Structure 1
């Protein structure tokens, strides 16, 4: 198994692919599965499971080339149950695929915001039928990976843009508050604890810039749960209950319940009052 060297974040993306490859093999019951993400214009196959030989080691796939390249260009799964004789693909990678002895091959592109980001494969040494029973669970695997990559991309963009200015004027303050609310929403979707911790660190920086003296000196008047703070942060930038529910993946009734709880803890009679009190307490920027 070849792993991409570099940052922790690159490593965590490779971990995501490794989990996806194992899940693909389990859900499709194909004996062999492998895949990777695009780096420098080519897909580096970083995870291989179930292989009998080492022929798939070092495989790098270019868009347009081979079954996986065609899947990435067409942004849809491509499959063959007789790889050797297929006339629909280039055979650039025969030494890898046929070296492993694979006859049936399914290639699934990982598509984020309309762009291919990688590809997963499921294969078998014998001729096997590939139909909806196989492709539906296989697509759910790559769609889950694509969603996680999209979230991570957004987190990275926010972290990159989150270097706060030394003095926050009124228009900048509103932008800062919106960024804080969006970061809370993004963090609520993440399963990667290291990314959640990085977002929390950025939130603390934003808090310190929004109210430098107050954030350092004030003692919070109430303790809000993470979800109560998520909901209140969205309400603070004018989102309706329905919009908050969509942003955080909650039911609208659940949003109302969190708001009522936060208002009670802050001794506030309205959401506006709750936001004001939370800001004075250093809980919101």
Structure 2
């Protein structure tokens, strides 16, 4: 069972995702929640006209969301009341809200279903690729953020207390985590999600800073992409590996490296990494 504080954090992420779902799709009702204690607990509802969905708990295989959860793929019914492909355990909640068309999208984290996001309308509505795509995007962004946050929290939990010192192995693991996190964040299109990932990056970057920034270093400003490339170079990645990780061309990677080296007044990538760390730009 997840700790209460973790569940509160999860609820905040779901709240943002459901709000985005309502904003990006044409569905008037949006709701969702994550799985814990063996069921999906709906924690956020937007646009509902009644309170019938409040407190809804969806169990695996039951209802439309339960099927989406266990099958790990979206499920939809254009007429919920007459649907024969699902159980009707939650008719009081769904029909109580007057929902006719219901669309359920699982939230996947590393291939495992962690929750379900729902879109609903009071009238029967056709749902094609154009209508469904925003829901897929929101569920994917939530899954990415959950995965990254869980990995960062796992790494942070293994870090020694500040007064106990840090082993070289722990330091390098944090640096590898930081590089991976920047690679993931570089592929996220949602600006708000990216900003929250940047907050996690900052937490990691602060853990290994063993020297204060020098006055000369404090005036160095690298672009996000230059830091992305340097973070990967710092853990020994080749230009080709950096390009594959960040979705760039190898020539573009070389260009970013050259620019960063110039700004840091460094003749090699190793020297650039060292100076970036002294400036507090890398862990």
Q: Structure 1: which 5+ residue stretches go unaligned?
A: 209-214
Q: Which residue of 2 aligns with 1:271?
A: 269
Of 189-198 and 55-64, more deviation after overlay is shown by 189-198
SS in structure 2 at match of 1:46: strand
Alignment of 1:82-231 (within 5 A): 82-163=79-160, 166=165, 168=167, 174-175=172-173, 177-182=175-180, 185=183, 191=193, 193=195, 196-208=198-210, 215=211, 219=214, 221-222=216-217, 223-225=220-222, 227=224, 228-231=226-229
Which residue of 71, 75, 79 corresponds with 1:74?
A: 71
Count of residue pairs brought into register by the alignment = 272
1:155 and 1:186 in contact (8 A); partners too: no
Taking structure 2 as the reference length, what is the TM-score of the superposition?
0.80
Taking structure 1 as the reference length, what is the TM-score of the superposition?
0.79
1:109 and 1:117 in contact (8 A); partners too: yes
Q: Structure 2: which 5+ residue stretches go unaligned?
A: none
SS in structure 1 at match of 2:102: strand
1:238 maps onto 2:232 in alignment: no
Of 134-143 and 105-114, more deviation after overlay is shown by 134-143
1:262 and 1:27, CA in 2 relative to 1: closer, same or farther beyond 3 A? Answer: closer
1:180 and 1:206 in contact (8 A); partners too: no
1:105 and 1:122 in contact (8 A); partners too: yes
Aligned-residue Cα RMSD (Å) equals 3.1
Post-superposition shift, 1:173? Answer: 5.5
Post-superposition shift, 1:70? Answer: 0.6
Query: Larger radius of gyration, structure 1 or 2?
Result: 1
Which residue of 31, 34, 40 corresponds with 1:34?
A: 31
1:168 and 1:79, CA in 2 relative to 1: closer, same or farther beyond 3 A? Answer: closer
2:185 and 2:194 in contact (8 A); partners too: no
Q: Distance in 1 between matches of 2:174 and 2:136?
A: 37
Post-superposition shift, 1:48? Answer: 1.3
